């Protein structure tokens, strides 16, 4: 078939348009692959069962004793970090790196950032840690994650929780929704206060001033208030599951960059909120 100049131009233009559309649609996939290829090697993942089999139970028992010794009026927060360090004095040394096999979901599993998903970081963080204790790992199927998030949000609404929950309120939610988990709110004073739990197989949930988090993947400068899971650490960075972006699985924050942003809700005055962390663990 003879190809005329006009037909050649039409075909060529169509191919350019198709190629451009394909490139545009695939830009996110290309960007994600480049991002993951640029990340450093991480420690091997360790499951909850592996941690449980080698758990340093005396430290955990001492931690529980400290918490139970608090008078009811004082709430569930432990006395102070110095007491925890004293309890940890005879414990095994914190290793130089660690990574727990915590499953991942974005708080918007289908990339729909409308309500309620734009405020679902607390729910997504809790779901990920609860999944770790059930032995789940890897990225959740988006449909499954969506159902779990909406179920937890519906439960919250029925129980009268606000859209944004403090660390303490999130702890209450956990103990109402998960019969096999208990929650503690403890002080966050530095990298070791986080690493101490991870070293013993316990992920840490951090409330944060999202505007202060050094995460370039946030839109509009980050959320006013955020929660994320710290699931591990290297010599200079924390390994997180940050539900606030699609690239949040094993997202790396340097120690100071993450911990300087840690603040509780504080009635919306997040930059002046308490520096605390939320600890979930299996009931004994």
pLDDT per residue as tens digits for the range 219-275: 888 999 999 999 999 999 999 999 999 899 999 999 999 999 999 999 999 999 999
Instruction: Choose between 1 and 181: higher pLDDT.
Output: 181
pLDDT value at residue 33: 55
C-beta separation of 141 from 127 below 8 A: no
Q: How many domains does the structure of the chain reveal? A: 2
Query: 24: domain range?
Result: 1-38
Do 113 and 49 share a structural domain?
yes
Do 47 and 34 share a structural domain?
no
User: What confidence category does residue 283 fall into, taking pLDDT thresholds of 50, 70 and 90?
Assistant: confident
Do 132 and 190 share a structural domain?
yes
Q: Which run of H or E residues covers position 150?
A: helix 142-159
pLDDT value at residue 137: 95
- In DSSP notation, 160-222 reads T--SS--HHHHHHHHHHH-TTEEEEEEE--SHHHHHHHHTTT--EEEEE-GGGS--TT-STT-
Does residue 161 have a pLDDT over 90?
yes
Q: What is the mean pLDDT of the chain?
A: 84
Does residue 195 have a pLDDT over 80?
yes
Percent of the chain residues past pLDDT 70, beyond the cut: 72
From CA 208, how far away is CA 268, in angstroms rounded? 11
Do 2 and 89 share a structural domain?
no
Least confident of 88-92, 178-182, 225-229: 88-92
Instruction: Choose between 18 and 76: higher pLDDT.
Output: 18
Residue range 32-52: mean pLDDT, rounded: 76
The position carrying tokens 């974005």 is 106
Does residue 141 have a pLDDT over 90?
yes
Do 117 and 28 share a structural domain?
no
Do 77 and 32 share a structural domain?
no
Do 187 and 134 share a structural domain?
yes
Does residue 181 have a pLDDT over 70?
yes
pLDDT value at residue 51: 76
* Most confident segment among 7-11, 30-34, 70-74: 7-11
Residue 120 burial (CB < 10 Å; 0-12/13-18/19+)? buried
Those residues with Cβ within 8 angstroms of residue 166's Cβ, 6 or more apart along the chain or in another chain: 207, 264, 265, 266
Residue range 136-163: mean pLDDT, rounded: 96
Instruction: Choose between 11 and 70: higher pLDDT.
Output: 11
Do 127 and 255 share a structural domain?
yes
Instruction: Choose between 284 and 192: higher pLDDT.
Output: 192
Do 9 and 112 share a structural domain?
no
Does residue 76 have a pLDDT over 90?
no
Do 127 and 19 share a structural domain?
no
Residue 137 three-state SS: coil
Specify the CATH number for the domain of residue 158.
Answer: 3.90.70.10
pLDDT value at residue 11: 60
Does residue 121 have a pLDDT over 70?
yes
From CA 69, how far away is CA 57, in angstroms rounded? 18
User: What confidence category does residue 30 fall into, taking pLDDT thresholds of 50, 70 and 90?
Assistant: low
Least confident of 28-42, 113-127, 211-225, 268-282: 28-42
| pTM of the predicted structure, to 2 decimals | 0.81
Do 26 and 65 share a structural domain?
no
Do 196 and 127 share a structural domain?
yes
Percent of the chain residues past pLDDT 90, beyond the cut: 67
From CA 78, how far away is CA 187, in angstroms rounded? 7
């Amino acid at each position: 078939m003879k190809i005329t100049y006009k037909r050649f131009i039409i075909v060529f233009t169509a191919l350019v348009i198709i190629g451009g559309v394909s490139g545009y649609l695939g830009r996110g996939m290309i960007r994600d692959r480049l991002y993951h290829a640029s990340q450093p090697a991480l420690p091997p993942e360790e499951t909850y069962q592996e941690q449980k089999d080698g758990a340093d139970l005396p430290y955990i028992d001492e931690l529980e004793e400290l918490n139970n010794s608090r008078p009811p009026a004082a709430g569930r927060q432990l006395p102070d970090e110095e007491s925890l360090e004293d309890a940890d004095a005879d414990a095994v040394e914190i290793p130089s790196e660690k990574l727990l096999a915590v499953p991942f979901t974005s708080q918007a599993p289908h990339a729909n950032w409308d309500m309620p998903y734009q405020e679902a970081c607390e729910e997504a963080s809790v779901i990920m840690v609860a999944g770790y204790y059930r032995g789940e790992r890897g990225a959740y199927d988006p449909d499954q994650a969506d159902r779990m998030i909406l179920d937890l949000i519906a439960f919250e609404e029925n129980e009268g929780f606000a859209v944004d929950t403090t660390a303490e309120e999130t702890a209450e939610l956990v103990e109402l929704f998960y019969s096999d988990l208990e929650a503690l709110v403890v002080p966050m004073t530095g990298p070791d206060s986080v690493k101490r739990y991870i070293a013993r197989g316990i992920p840490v949930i951090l409330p944060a001033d999202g505007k202060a988090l050094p995460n370039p993947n946030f839109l509009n400068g980050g959320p006013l208030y955020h929660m994320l899971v710290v699931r591990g650490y290297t010599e200079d960075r924390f390994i997180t599951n940050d539900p606030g972006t699609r690239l949040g699985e094993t997202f790396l924050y340097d120690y100071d960059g993450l911990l300087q942003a840690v603040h509780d809700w504080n009635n919306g005055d997040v930059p002046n909120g308490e520096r605390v962390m939320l600890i979930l663990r299996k009931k004994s």
